[in-house]
A = this chain, B = another copy of it.
Amino acid sequence: MFKAAVLGLGNIGRNVIQSLEVVPDGECIGVVRRPASVGKTPYDLRGVPDFPSFDDLLDHAGKPDVVILGLPSRRVPGAAAELLSRGFCTVDSFDIHDRIVEVVGSLEEEASKGHAVAVTAAGWDPGTDSIQRTLFQAMVPVGTTFTNFGRGRSMGHSVAVRAMEGVADATAITIPLGGGRHSRHVYVVLKEGYSIEQVEKTIKADPYFASDPLTVTEVKDSDALSMVADASHGVLMERIGASGGACNQQIRFDMRIDNPALTAQILVASARAAVHLHEMEQYGCYTLIDIPPIMLLPGERMELLGHLV
């Protein structure tokens, strides 16, 4: 049994606790959450003890084999680096695509120093979709892969709009248009004194939205906003191209899922791999395409080969 600690009790943290209940080889020894929240919402914890800091967790729950980060992406690199330098293995679902190479580089350094293992960008995109893109390219080297997201709520786009002037709250829905292009439907709760036309202009001017068709709709309050979209999401990945001399090779990967539940499950599978890599003294920072897929599963190799190959 590998022992996992969880940082954060948001969407991801809550789902990681549930995933660790189901897997046969891991357990959650504790959760670190905001000090003001410790002891509250015990149903979210499902019997797992909560602590106001990681050092409190160490004192009372003991040393985990791996720490699963359920933090906002922008806080991941700093938190992971600190844990790695102290010799703790980390797993995260950092999802800012254009910073991944930089983050791998810096976590690699900390993990090597700390004799620890980091698995980063271990959600579904980046994450398992990255494995698909890699396989698609290996199988059909000449061609283009389209990654079509949605229909579903984009956390990244929602967060971006919430930070804009005049916006009290917002949710952004991604709708696939085919060919890896998307339209955005943004639902906004306005701050007093702002008009929806003003906010729509601000959103349209943002580079994160500028190239996509956009619809902006005003919603009266956060309660109404919460009725606009649940956590359903999905992706359709497509590649058509040539293997050797053969054209018209067609590959598709299609998925409709509860977004944080899948992310959490992939984090738990990655935590298993991190523990295994640590036992093998293969210190460093990994993304999912750097890890043999068999390491994501519990069980003995030869038995897994018999079932899966």
Query: What 1/0 mask marks residues of chain A from 119 to 141 whose CB sits below 8 Å from any chain B CB?
Result: 00100101010110111011111
| Cα separation A258 to B251 with both chains bound (whole Å) | 12
Asked if B243 and A257 sit within 8 Å, CB to CB, the answer is yes
Residue of B nearest to A264 (CB): B244
Tell me, yes or no, whether A309 is within 8 Å of chain B by CB.
yes
Given A21-B244, A291-B292, A139 contacting B128 (CB threshold 8 A)? yes
Smallest CB separation, A169 vs chain B (Å)? 25
Given A245-B261, A250-B256, A131 contacting B128 (CB threshold 8 A)? no
Number of copies of this chain that the complex holds: 2
Chain B residue numbers with a CB within 8 Å of A140 are: 262, 265
Q: Which of A82-90, A96-104, A179-187 contacts B (4 or more CB under 8 A)?
A: A96-104
Name the interface residues of A71-128: CB closer than 8 Å to any CB of B: 97, 100-101, 104-105, 121, 124, 126, 128
| Cα separation A80 to B233 with both chains bound (whole Å) | 45
Tell me, yes or no, whether A210 is within 8 Å of chain B by CB.
no
Chain B residue numbers with a CB within 8 Å of A21 are: 244-245
Residue of B nearest to A250 (CB): B256
Tell me, yes or no, whether A290 is within 8 Å of chain B by CB.
yes
Asked if B289 and A137 sit within 8 Å, CB to CB, the answer is no
Query: What 1/0 mask marks residues of chain A from 221 to 244 whose CB sits below 8 Å from any chain B CB?
Result: 000000000000000000000111
Query: What 1/0 mask marks residues of chain A from 286 to 308 whose CB sits below 8 Å from any chain B CB?
Result: 01111111101100011011101
| Cα separation A308 to B137 with both chains bound (whole Å) | 9
Chain B residue numbers with a CB within 8 Å of A134 are: 293-294, 296-297, 304, 308
Can you sample 19 A-B contacts with CB below 8 Å?
A18-B244, A18-B246, A22-B142, A100-B305, A100-B309, A101-B305, A104-B305, A128-B139, A134-B297, A134-B304, A138-B266, A243-B261, A248-B258, A249-B256, A249-B262, A251-B254, A252-B254, A253-B253, A289-B308
